[in-house]
Structure 1
Amino acid sequence: MKMQIVGYMILLVFYLCYFIKMFQQRKQGIQTDHMGKGKQGIQKKIEIMMKGTTIATFIIEILSIYLNTMTFPLIIRIMGIFLGIIGDIVFIASVLTMKDSWRAGVSYEEKTDLITNGIYQISRNPAFLGFDLIYLGMCLMFFNTILLIISLLAMMMFHLQIKYVEEPFLKQEFKEQYLQYYQQVNCYIGKRTGFK
């Protein structure tokens, strides 16, 4: 029962952060959710599939916690707790650092800033890193094959979003400023050596 409570708490913290930020932005007249909107072709498909897999993963996570599916030893499950908590911290730090430039999906209409400070100094995509860590943590805490498959599919969609939607947009929007940042900071974690 304690493991289930911890699992629910990790998800609660994550989704509270997500929706509180969304509602705060809505009060300011900022549209947060741009997934699939204003796009065509592969970019639209990626964002719609990403949205679908994140919703499906949430549902499977809730069911897995409720059923308390457990196949790993306690030490592995505790590692999952730590990954989930770190994922929450990373995600919250990314949302706070982005301030009003935070969006779910790329917006071609709204002007945002290129954020390179705070947690973005060590990760170009800390929000997706946070998602990934939470998904991995849930898999270690409440492992089952369906949870693993849907989590990996969602993580793959995040990566495709970065590669085929966000990075092309940022290169076009911020040009040399983004290219310099791209060369200095890794996609998920770490700085690249040899750059000033």
Structure 2
Amino acid sequence: MSILQISAIIILILFYGAYLTKLIVQKRKGIQTTQLGIGSKSKKTLLVEKLLKFTSFVIVPIELISILLDTNSFLSEKVRISGIVLAAVGSLVFIIAMVTMRDSWRAGIPAEDNTQMVTSGIYRISRNPAFLGFDLTYIGYYLAFDNLPLLLISLFAVTLMHLQILEEEKYLANRFGTKYLEYKKNVGRYLKIVPF
């Protein structure tokens, strides 16, 4: 097994391990972290969330198989290493976002939970750092282990993440009103320098 493969597996374990740890910690506190596709939401929101949930499960074995088979011969070694670095940065961004949100973090729009609006830490430079982290990780894995199934599932996942952000923005505007709208003006959807 190459250093690239070992690095990718370690990043994969850290990324999904952090997510599972958050699930367990919040469950012990009586918090249902995963709220994708449940609750009374619009049909569009439920569809996006159900597809996102399904894709989140499907992408893991595709990433793992891509790493283990390592059939990449198209991209240069520099691009592949850059992909691993990008995946590592994405994982770090995701973990920092989760930790910063504390018990207000959810996967999906909370059906009934009374969460707090978080604008500190990494949320000062990105309104959606967890989604940014996912996107960077998925793109990084594709660059490192380029193959058609990984490309297709990564593009689909990134698209669904963006659609989920759009649904969450509606929810946050309704939930937090002017406070969220002011925050939205000052911090970009993905990065502060990109305010769209």
Range class of TM-score, shorter chain:
over 0.9
- Shift of residue 149 of structure 1? 0.8
Contact persistence 1:184–1:191 (CA under 8 A): no
Give the alignment of 1:74-113 within 5 angstroms. Answer: 74-113=77-116
- Give the Cα–Cα distance (whole angstroms) in 2 for the partners of residues 40 and 81 of structure 1: 37
- Give the Cα–Cα distance (whole angstroms) in 2 for the partners of residues 42 and 182 of structure 1: 22
Contact persistence 1:121–1:191 (CA under 8 A): no
- Shift of residue 190 of structure 1? 1.7
Cα deviation digits, residues 158-189 of structure 1 (max 9, x gap): 000011x2011100000000000011000001
TM-score (norm 1): 0.95
1:68 aligned residue: 70
Q: Which of 136, 140, 148 is matched with 1:137 structurally?
A: 140
Contact persistence 2:23–2:33 (CA under 8 A): yes
In structure 1, runs of 5+ residues without a counterpart are: none
Cα deviation digits, residues 1-25 of structure 1 (max 9, x gap): 2211111111100011101011000
CA RMSD of aligned residues (A): 1.2
1:30 aligned residue: 31
- Shift of residue 191 of structure 1? 4.5
- Bigger shift: residues 114-123 or 48-57: 48-57
Q: Which runs of 4+ in 1 moved over 4 A?
A: none
2:190 aligned residue: 188
Identical positions, percent? 44
Cα deviation digits, residues 88-107 of structure 1 (max 9, x gap): 11011100100000000011
- Give the Cα–Cα distance (whole angstroms) in 1 for the partners of residues 112 and 60 of structure 2: 29
- Give the Cα–Cα distance (whole angstroms) in 2 for the partners of residues 74 and 191 of structure 1: 30
Contact persistence 2:37–2:46 (CA under 8 A): yes
Question: Amino acid of the residue matched to residue 4 of structure 1?
Answer: Q
TM-score (norm 2): 0.95
- Give the Cα–Cα distance (whole angstroms) in 2 for the partners of residues 115 and 70 of structure 1: 40
1:5 aligned residue: 6
Paired positions, count: 192
Give the alignment of 1:115-194 within 5 angstroms. Answer: 115-163=118-166, 165-191=167-193
In structure 2, runs of 5+ residues without a counterpart are: none
